[in-house]
Amino acid sequence: PPIDPMSVTFRSATGGMSPSGPVLSRRMSDLEGLFADTAAWQEARDGADPVVYEVASSPVPEAPGELPQSITTIHPGAVGGEFHMTKGHQHPNPQGEIYFGLSGTGGLLLFDGTTPKWIPMSPGVIGYIPPGWAHRSVNTGDEPYRFLAVYPGDAGHDYGWVLEHGMGWRVRRGAGEPQLVPFQSE
Ligand code: F6R
Ligand code: ZN
């Protein structure tokens, strides 16, 4: 059923939304196969198994014509030097998506299967994901990195594509700027 016009309040202290739809929590144990250093990932999983990121969704449904929104919070940290990140996905029904930086420092890694791109993200930055580009978010700072995502309700989410093709680069902690390392060199 269509939903009524509505406003949603962003809870800046927690990254939550009010009113809220589902809130999803991804722990280290949910992120098998993501990080290059498997031993470091296993150690983190078998230890505290920390929450790496959370996704709060607005009540707008994932249905054709609608524009669902979500706020992702990636907690700071790294696994074997590789920054905390989202799983990453493709939209099987290729359509654009908008990200808007809310707090903290991070980046948007995009991959079309040939060429990776990196968009540094901070509060106030709009990152645009064109149709057909897989995308992953990375926290490159030492506080929670938060952003709003707005996407077409019938875009769909394909997580297998990234597991198969990678994202072109890995994002590692460097002396200053984050290091973008070719995926194949791991
Ligand atoms: C929606 C979107 C974001 C991500 C979220 C978590 O299309 O791109 O809301 O879903 O940042 O990342 P994933 O879905 O890759 O675990
Ligand atoms: Zn997306």
Q: What is the secondary structure of 85-133 as a DSSP string?
A: B---BB-SS---EEEEEEES-EEEEEE-SS-EEEEEE-TTPEEEE-TT-
HSE-up (13 A, CA, CB side) for residue 136:
28
ipTM: 0.99
pLDDT for residue 186 is more than 60: no
Residue 2's pLDDT is: 75
Q: Using H for helix, E for strand and C for coil, what is the string for 71-93? A: EEEECCCEECCEECECCCEECCC
The pTM (predicted TM-score) of the whole model is 0.97
The mean per-residue pLDDT over the stretch 82-90 comes to: 98
- 12-24 pLDDT tens trace: 999 999 999 999 9
Q: Whose CA is nearest to atom 7 of ligand 1?
A: 151
Ion ligand 2, residue ranges at CB < 5 A: 97
Which residues have CB under 6 Å of ligand 1? 55, 70, 72, 86-89, 97, 135, 137, 149, 151, 157
* Domains, in order of start, for the chain: 9-185 (2.60.120.10)
**57 Cα nearest atom in ligand 1:** 9
Look up residue 110 and give its two tokens: 């995009």
| Average pLDDT of the chain, as a whole number | 96
